[in-house]
Amino acid sequence: MKLHVIIEQDEAGYYAAEVPALPGCLSQGKTRKEAIANIKEAIQGWLEVMESKKPFDPSQVIEVSI
């Protein structure tokens, strides 16, 4: 899975990471590298939570390219 991540440095020098396609999926780090590692973990957690909320039928899942 590929997702777009926006990383910006804040006034305190921390790097904030956000995944626009996953509402509320945010993280941060002291360095850009740390922010990237943290947002990967946040994405995994976000997907696990959303998957647990509603069971899905794998036969109904499709992949689309745009």
Rounded to two decimals, the pTM is 0.77
| Residue at 34 is within a domain | yes
Domain with residue 56: its CATH number is 3.30.160.250
| Full domain range(s) for residue 39 | 6-60
Residue 18 lies in a domain: yes
Q: Which residues contact 29 (CB under 8 A, 6 or more apart)?
A: 14, 15, 17, 35, 36, 37, 38
Distance of CA 39 to the CA centre of its chain: 6
pLDDT of 33: 97
3-state secondary structure 24-39: CCEEEECCHHHHHHHH
Write the pLDDT tens digit of every residue in 33-45: 999 999 999 999 9
The backbone torsions φ and ψ at residue 15, rounded to the nearest 5 degrees and listed phi first, read: -105, 125
Asked if the structure places residue 65 within a domain, the reply is no
Our count of domains for the chain comes to 1
Question: Which residues is 17 bridged to in the sheet?
Answer: 7, 27
17 belongs to a structural domain: yes
